Amino acid sequence: MYLQKTDLTAIIETSPMISAWKQGLKVYFWREGTMKKRSLSIALAALMAASALAACGSSQSDSAGSSAAKTDESAGESKADGKESKADGKGGKELRLVNGKIEVDAALKELAAKYEEETGVKVNIESMGGGINIQGTLKGYYQAGNMPDIFVNGADPDFENWCGQDLLEDLSDQPWVSDTDAAYKYKDGKIYGFPYTVEAIGLAYNADILEKAGIDPKSITGPESMKKAFETLDSKKSELGLDAVIGYCAEATNLYWSTGNHLFGVYEDEGLKRDDSKYFDLLKDGGKLDSDRFEKYAEMVGLFNKYSDPNLLVSGTYDQQILNFSSGKYAFVTQGSWIGATMTTDDKDAYEKAGKFKVGMIPYAFEEGQDTILTNSPSWWSVFKNDNAEEAKKFLNWVAGEKGQDILVNKAGFISPFKSCSFVAEDPFAQTIVDYQKAEKTSGWHWLGNKDGIAQNALGVVYQDYAQGNIKDAKAFTDTMSQVCAQYYAS
């Protein structure tokens, strides 16, 4: 069984202190360019020993809930079997929720307070972030019999930890399921994840720049119209104040996730219905690609190579990419809707100086007529199987309703995944996503189920080689990617 209560390795991995130290060391060694396994192993060994000594005077459950999490002082405890959360001392009902976005801790506590005001049920919010290994910490809670009633899960491997042992409640019969396309469905066909927000992958654009260039974004419906728009923008770069037509970065060390996950996911899902997994299924079958489809996709990536900022293309950073787009230096950028938050916070001054321009998103239409963007929740809330499960479901139903959505959209800044929601977040990309959702022009994120590590260990460098010119054309890129995928899935 994956979650062994006597597994010392798992216990070490669940330590928030070790998780934070490991994260810090990775960042340090990456920045110094000396990510050597021997050095990291020695450092981690020393830190683990120090952690073990420091923990001698405290229990495992104490360390698991230390500085890694921002928790209400009254957070509910659990029975030793991890199956039932304790009610408060007054006999009232009480829930505990582990959240993976520490930046919205205050908003979620406001959500919890409103729910308690209306129902009398207290919801304790425990927020984790800052590089903490959330799944590792949750495993520690399980081992200590201290599981929360509701907790965050990310991609397929996270759900496998719990669904594989029948530890989550089936949410398929809940009323909110029919109101969203972003619920998490496990391989058994049942719903185990509640979507609390939604993000989108599409070709983001500066609407003001396109208008000045005389380009209607709705006219970009395929490879020919996309190429024509890029050529027009390139010929007017000086008058439009552009450094480049598009901000595309294929740097493989730190931005492999952008190319190897998100952009590769465009090949898998663009233009398909949400439940159409034909290209994902083909990939799972020994790493196979549809050569005809992928070569058309490769032509689009080649267009990005040609018209991207040369200072960004293979040596840039994520921060540079988003800052330049926020500053009005790129007409397009190959990132998703999550950059809206950066534009209005970290890059706020640059964005306002550039006129706080309108943004939008169009499909990555590498075949004529493709008309969807890729949307999904980046993570989900799941309900642990215990005596509080029914009460937890009631809470999630309330969150999906008007009062819950009001707080999540207007206070947490989330883009609602629910079609019936009338609230639109202030995020620059919110209205675009809402419009695509209501028109039912969205595809899924099947890349979440790709073989673990493939973006970092295989795909990212292929995009980088293509951008550097080491791979000469779309056909060669297709052939190389086919070989790499087959080898990775065979390993």
pLDDT in tens, 126-157: 999 767 899 999 999 999 999 999 999 998 88
Q: Mention every residue, 6+ apart, whose C-beta is less than 8 A from residue 336.
A: 199, 200, 201, 202, 204, 262
Block residue for tokens 């039912």: 440
The architecture that CATH gives domain 201-375+444-490 is 3-Layer(aba) Sandwich (3.40)
What's the CA dihedral at 237, 241, 247, 249 to 10 degrees?
90
Neighbours of 113 (CB within 10 A): 14
Lowest mean pLDDT segment, chosen from 127-141, 256-270, 335-349, 356-370: 127-141
The pLDDT tens digits for 90-106 are 447 999 999 999 999 99
- Residue partners of 75: CB distance under 8 A and separation at least 6: 65, 96, 124, 126
CA–CA separation, 378 vs 180, rounded Å?
14
The domain limits of the chain are 66-195+378-416, 201-375+444-490
Q: Residue 131's pLDDT is what?
A: 73
Q: Supply the pLDDT for residue 399.
A: 99
Q: Do domains 66-195+378-416 and 201-375+444-490 have the same CATH topology?
A: yes
If we measure between CA atoms, which residue out of 385, 399, 389, 408 comes closest to residue 175?
399
Confidence check: pLDDT of 63 > 50: no
Task: Inform me whether the pLDDT recorded for 382 exceeds 50.
Answer: yes
pLDDT tens profile 175-188: 999 999 999 999 99
**Do 201 and 218 touch, CB atoms closer than 8 A?**
no
> Average pLDDT in the 365-383 region?
98
Residue 337 has pLDDT above 90, yes or no: yes
Model pTM? 0.79
Specify the higher pLDDT residue, 261 or 36: 261
Q: Provide Rg for the chain, Cα atoms.
A: 23
Class of domain 66-195+378-416: alpha beta
